[in-house]
C-alpha cells in the first residue's frame, strides 16, 4: 500500500526517477556530495572518522568537498552521465549540523546551474524543525530521517549524547529531544508536500521488536517509505559487540512491515560520495573522470 494518491505529478515523476524511493528507479543515477563532515550527536554505533552509517556503508571515509568543488563535480558528472537525476547530501556527518551553511550553499550553487535536478538530503533529524521550511525553499523535495525509535527511552539508549542549543544531553533526555524533533521536523516537511523516507537501523536487543511501532508512526504521519537497515558493527564504536541481525531477520522484518507501508528492499548502504546507479557505484575525480569504485 502506498501514499501515491495526492502527490502532484511533478513530484511523483521525481520520485519514480529516484533510485532510493522505488525499486523501479534502478536505471537512474544519484550523486552524493560529501560537503557536511560535522555531527551534532554521537550514535553508539558510529565512529566519526568514517562516514555516517545512518545512510552509508560503515568503515568508509569520503574526502570532503567545498560547495564550489561539489558544483564542479556535479557539472562534470552530469555531462558524462545523462541518467543522473538526483543530488543527495548524506554527510559524511549530518547535513544539518555545524556545516549546514555548506549544505545550503551547495544546493544553491547547483540549483543556479540546473533547475530540474532532484534535491535529496538525509539527516539524524535533530535540527530538522529549524531548517525544514528553508529546505523546502531551497527546492529539496526528498528527505530521509534516520529514526530508530519513537519511544524516548529506546531512542535514549542509541545516542551516547546529543549537542543541542549549547547543551549536552544523554539518556532519556537525549531520546526525548531526538524523537520530538524528528517527528516535528517530518511533520513540517510533510505539510509542505516533501516526500519523506525514514531509515531505521536494526539494533538487536534495543529496538528490534519496536520497529513495527516506528513504521506505524511513519505511516500515520504520511511518510512515503521506510528503510529497515542492518547494523554493520564498526570496531571502536560503543555497539561494536552488538550481535548482527541476519539478512533473513531483516527480510522478515521488512516483509512484516510491508503490511503497514511501502518498504525499501534494495538499499545498498552507499558511501557519502557515491556516484552512479545503485548497482554500479563509480569513483569520480575533480576533472569528472569516472571509474568503477573499489571499496
**d(C-alpha 94, C-alpha 13), whole Å:** 27
Whether the CB-CB separation of 255 and 13 falls below 8 Å is answered with: no
**d(C-alpha 73, C-alpha 285), whole Å:** 8
Task: Give whichever of 27 and 191 is closer to ligand SF4, judged by the CB atom.
Answer: 27
Whether the CB-CB separation of 109 and 67 falls below 8 Å is answered with: yes
Task: Give whichever of 168 and 268 is closer to ligand SF4, judged by the CB atom.
Answer: 268
Among the listed residues 209, 214, 224, the one whose alpha carbon sits nearest the alpha carbon of residue 261: 224
SS3 35: coil
Among the listed residues 221, 212, 196, 218, the one whose alpha carbon sits nearest the alpha carbon of residue 252: 212
Minimum CB separation from ligand SF4 for residue 193, in Å?
Answer: 20
Task: Give whichever of 165 and 287 is closer to ligand SF4, judged by the CB atom.
Answer: 165
User: CB atoms < 10 A from the CB of 60, how many?
Assistant: 18
Q: Which positions touch ligand SF4 (CB under 6 A)? A: 20, 30, 39, 41-43, 46, 48, 52-55, 91, 93-94, 124, 227, 267-270, 278
Minimum CB separation from ligand SF4 for residue 196, in Å?
Answer: 13
Task: Give whichever of 38 and 216 is closer to ligand SF4, judged by the CB atom.
Answer: 38
Whether the CB-CB separation of 87 and 115 falls below 8 Å is answered with: no
Minimum CB separation from ligand SF4 for residue 132, in Å?
Answer: 17
Task: Give whichever of 44 and 191 is closer to ligand SF4, judged by the CB atom.
Answer: 44
**d(C-alpha 17, C-alpha 275), whole Å:** 15
Task: Give whichever of 191 and 251 is closer to ligand SF4, judged by the CB atom.
Answer: 251
List b or e across 251-278, with b for residues whose CB sees 16 or more CB atoms inside 10 angstroms: eebbeebeebbbbbeebebbbbbbbbbb
Minimum CB separation from ligand SF4 for residue 152, in Å?
Answer: 17
Minimum CB separation from ligand SF4 for residue 92, in Å?
Answer: 7
Minimum CB separation from ligand SF4 for residue 202, in Å?
Answer: 14
Minimum CB separation from ligand SF4 for residue 25, in Å?
Answer: 10
Task: Give whichever of 217 and 269 is closer to ligand SF4, judged by the CB atom.
Answer: 269
- The residues, ordered by sequence, that sit 6+ positions from 130 with a Cβ below 8 Å of its Cβ are 96
Amino acid at each position: 500500500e502506498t501514499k501515491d494518491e495526492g502527490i502532484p505529478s511533478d513530484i511523483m515523476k521525481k520520485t519514480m526517477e529516484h533510485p532510493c524511493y522505488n525499486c523501479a528507479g534502478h536505471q537512474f543515477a544519484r550523486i552524493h556530495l560529501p560537503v557536511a563532515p560535522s555531527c551534532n550527536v554521537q550514535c553508539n554505533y558510529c565512529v566519526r572518522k568514517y562516514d555516517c552509517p545512518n545512510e552509508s556503508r560503515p568503515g568508509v571515509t569520503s574526502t570532503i568537498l567545498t560547495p564550489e568543488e561539489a558544483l564542479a563535480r556535479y557539472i562534470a558528472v552530469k555531462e558524462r552521465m545523462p541518467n543522473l537525476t538526483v543530488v543527495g547530501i548524506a554527510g559524511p556527518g549530518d547535513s544539518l549540523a555545524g556545516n549546514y551553511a555548506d549544505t545550503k550553499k551547495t544546493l544553491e550553487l547547483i540549483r543556479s546551474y540546473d533547475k530540474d535536478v532532484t534535491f535529496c538530503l538525509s539527516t539524524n533529524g535533530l535540527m530538522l524543525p529549524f531548517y525544514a521550511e528553508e529546505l523546502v525553499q531551497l527546492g529539496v523535495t526528498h528527505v530521509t530521517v534516520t529514526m530508530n525509535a519513537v519511544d524516548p527511552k529506546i531512542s535514549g539508549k542509541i545516542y551516547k549524547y546529543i549537542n543541542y542549543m549549547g547543551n549536552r544531553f544523554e539518556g532519556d533526555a537525549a531520546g526525548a529531544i531526538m524523537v520530538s524533533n524528528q517527528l516535528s521536523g517530518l511533520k513540517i516537511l510533510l505539510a509542505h508536500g516533501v516526500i519523506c523516507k525514514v531509515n531505521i537501523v536494526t539494533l538487536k536487543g534495543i529496538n528490534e521488536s519496536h520497529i513495527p511501532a516506528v513504521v506505524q508512526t511513519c505511516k500515520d504521519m504520511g511518510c512515503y517509505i521506510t528503510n529497515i537497515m542492518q547494523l554493520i558493527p564498526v570496531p571502536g564504536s560503543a555497539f561494536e559487540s552488538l550481535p548482527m541481525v541476519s539478512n533473513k531477520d531483516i527480510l522478515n522484518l521488512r516483509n512484516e512491515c510491508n503490511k503497514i507501508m511501502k518498504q525499501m528492499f534494495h538499499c545498498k548502504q552507499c558511501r557519502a560520495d557515491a556516484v552512479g546507479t545503485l548497482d554500479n557505484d563509480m569513483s569520480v575525480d575533480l576533472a569528472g573522470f569516472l571509474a568503477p569504485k573499489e571499496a
